[in-house]
Amino acid sequence: MDGRNTEVLKFRKAFDFAKQFRSAVSLHSHTMHSREYLGRLPGYIKKVPVASWLIEREIGRVHLYTGRSVNFRRTFWTPPLSPREAVKLEQEQIENEVRLRPMVSLTDHDNIEAGLHLHMLARAFRVPVSVEWSVPYAGTVFHLGIHNLPPASATEWMQAFSEFTAAPCSEKLRVLLTELDANPQILIVLNHPYWDAQASAAGHHQSALTRFMREFRSLLHAMEVNGLRSRRENRAVLELAIDVGLPAISGGDRHGCEPNAVLNLTSATTFGDFVAEIRQERRSHLLLMPQFFDNLRVRLLESSWHALCDAPGEFGRRHWMTRVFVEDESGVPRPLSEHQGTRVHRFVDKLRWIMALLASPQMRPAMRLALLGSEEASL
């Protein structure tokens, strides 16, 4: 069974999913342990009416009064939810809407603290130790969802990933992927394959993807349909999955407080059995939740606002300023609270005000109207 046998279902409230499936799986979402750099924020802002003019004006004011440019590449935020809050959010959507047994795999960027933390609370949270590994390759970066690492050796795996990132080479990558593939409990997913995180030259990422698939396709287990990428891009992923003979699998890519927009349905009751269903039977059932069909730019705007608003806030992270950081000249991250009262703080505060306005429920109909036609037809 290959990508042609991936089934894509649209959520319907009245449908009894329990007649055919036993569990729903939420894959690929982020917690407080991910760093989200703002290097590409200006490009996104340009696509949002009003916001682009307001924010560009504030950037100009900072330069006028201080002579300094706003360096978004040195600014990052961490998602608002703790591991426990993130799992609860995903579980509640599955239990309340889909009415199936929930399974959740959290994949922070190059970090397994969420899974390790929850593994210590195994009685309450039976979650795998997983990671979204950033893999440098041919001048770009691919993101691999590595799900269900053995807890006893997960730290050693992360050290190996870090060593590869520091000195990447294809031979070393093949060794690592071969060793991961040899464990039948581990699932290797190529996340959002068409997303060029490095904003490389036109056509470069696509060319590198072709080479990457030619070299490592046999060591991958699935391609990701991503809940925060465009439907056009996700259709291309489904076509690629068919071309290379891999199943397509869900990945919500949640960073804020909206639960994942794409889930997997399965007859498995354990994560290990779900991995076997994907790897051995190559059988995948995708479920598109209602939020998947909302305007993507509006959803991304709301997700950005979640980064800048107060949150439930375990571990003293309720206030938004505790989750935004600016790297100093030596690369050491400093919380925005240390910049309180400075022009940097005032700039971020104005950015926050603009995001709050645009993401408010009162503005949502107007934003949908302004962005009408910016998202293509559904899958």
Q: Look up residue 20 and give its amino acid.
A: Q
Instruction: Tell me: do 136 and 277 sit in the same domain.
Output: yes
Instruction: Tell me: do 258 and 144 sit in the same domain.
Output: yes
Q: What angle do CA 91, 87, 103 make, to 5 degrees?
A: 55
Q: How far apart are CA 11 and CA 86, in angstroms?
A: 21
Predicted confidence at residue 1, as pLDDT, reads: 37
Predicted confidence at residue 182, as pLDDT, reads: 98
Is 231 inside a domain boundary?
Answer: yes
Instruction: Tell me: do 73 and 125 sit in the same domain.
Output: no
Is 249 inside a domain boundary?
Answer: yes
Q: Residue 319: which H helix or E strand, with range?
A: none
Q: Please, which pLDDT band fits residue 2 given cuts at 50, 70 and 90?
A: very low
CA distances from 354 to 7, 52, 149, 347 (A): 40, 10, 41, 11
| Between 373 and 77, the higher pLDDT residue | 77
Q: How far apart are CA 162 and CA 165, in angstroms?
A: 5
Average of per-residue pLDDT values in the chain: 85
Instruction: Tell me: do 214 and 330 sit in the same domain.
Output: no
Of the candidates 312, 287, 360, the one whose C-alpha atom is nearest the C-alpha of residue 15 is: 287
DSSP letter (8 states) at residue 77: E
CA distances from 45 to 97, 136, 149, 346 (A): 33, 27, 37, 18
> Mean pLDDT, to the nearest integer, of 70-96?
87
Of the candidates 221, 258, 59, the one whose C-alpha atom is nearest the C-alpha of residue 146 is: 221
- Domain residues for the domain of 15 are 3-34+103-290
Is 364 inside a domain boundary?
Answer: yes
Choose one of 253, 274, 290: the last residue of a domain.
290
Instruction: Tell me: do 250 and 181 sit in the same domain.
Output: yes
Predicted confidence at residue 53, as pLDDT, reads: 60
> Mean pLDDT, to the nearest integer, of 220-235?
96
Over its C-alpha atoms, the chain yields an Rg (Å, rounded) of: 21
Tokens of residue 185, six digits: 């409990």
Instruction: Examine the pLDDT at 105 and tell me if it is beyond 50.
Output: yes
The answer to whether 2 and 247 have CB atoms below 8 angstroms apart is: yes
Per residue in 107-129, pLDDT (tens digit) is: 999 999 999 989 877 654 579 99
Is 92 inside a domain boundary?
Answer: no
Instruction: Tell me: do 189 and 211 sit in the same domain.
Output: yes
Contacts of 378 (CB under 8 A, 6+ apart): 10, 231, 288, 292, 293
Instruction: Examine the pLDDT at 312 and tell me if it is beyond 80.
Output: no
Q: Residue 47: which H helix or E strand, with range?
A: none
The answer to whether 76 and 39 have CB atoms below 8 angstroms apart is: no
Q: Is 50 left (phi over 0), alpha (psi -120 to 50) or beta?
A: left
- Which alpha helices (DSSP H) does 18-112 contain, by range? 41-45, 51-66, 83-93
Instruction: Tell me: do 230 and 251 sit in the same domain.
Output: yes
Q: What angle do CA 273, 276, 278 make, to 5 degrees?
A: 115
Q: The CATH number of the domain where 265 resides is what? A: 3.20.20.140
Q: How far apart are CA 19 and CA 111, in angstroms?
A: 37
Is 98 inside a domain boundary?
Answer: no
Would you list the DSSP string of 251-292?
E--B-SSSPPSEEEEES-SSHHHHHHHHHTS---EEEE-GGG
Is 376 inside a domain boundary?
Answer: no
Tokens of residue 259, six digits: 């639960």
Tokens of residue 58, six digits: 């504030």
Predicted confidence at residue 75, as pLDDT, reads: 78
Phi, psi of 89 (to 5 degrees): -60, -45
Is 186 inside a domain boundary?
Answer: yes
Predicted confidence at residue 46, as pLDDT, reads: 58
Instruction: Tell me: do 50 and 189 sit in the same domain.
Output: no
Instruction: Tell me: do 20 and 163 sit in the same domain.
Output: yes
Predicted confidence at residue 198, as pLDDT, reads: 77
DSSP letter (8 states) at residue 112: -
Predicted confidence at residue 90, as pLDDT, reads: 97
Domain count, the chain: 2
The answer to whether 188 and 180 have CB atoms below 8 angstroms apart is: yes
Tokens of residue 248, six digits: 């397509």
Instruction: Tell me: do 281 and 259 sit in the same domain.
Output: yes
Is 299 inside a domain boundary?
Answer: no
Q: String of b and e for 221-258 (b: at least 16 CB within 10 Å)?
A: bbbbbbbbbebebbeebbebbbebebbbbbbbbbbbbb
Of the candidates 378, 355, 347, the one whose C-alpha atom is nearest the C-alpha of residue 58 is: 347
Instruction: Tell me: do 167 and 257 sit in the same domain.
Output: yes
Q: Is 293 left (phi over 0), alpha (psi -120 to 50) or beta?
A: alpha
This prediction has a pTM of: 0.87
Per residue in 315-370, pLDDT (tens digit) is: 556 777 778 887 877 888 887 777 666 666 676 777 777 777 776 777 676 666 66
Tokens of residue 69, six digits: 């440019």
Instruction: Examine the pLDDT at 244 and tell me if it is beyond 90.
Output: yes
**Portion of the chain with pLDDT greater than 90, in percent:** 58
Per residue in 268-288, pLDDT (tens digit) is: 999 999 999 999 999 999 999
Instruction: Tell me: do 162 and 230 sit in the same domain.
Output: yes
Per residue in 19-73, pLDDT (tens digit) is: 999 999 999 999 999 988 876 555 555 555 555 665 666 556 555 555 555 566 7
Choose one of 237, 272, 290: the last residue of a domain.
290
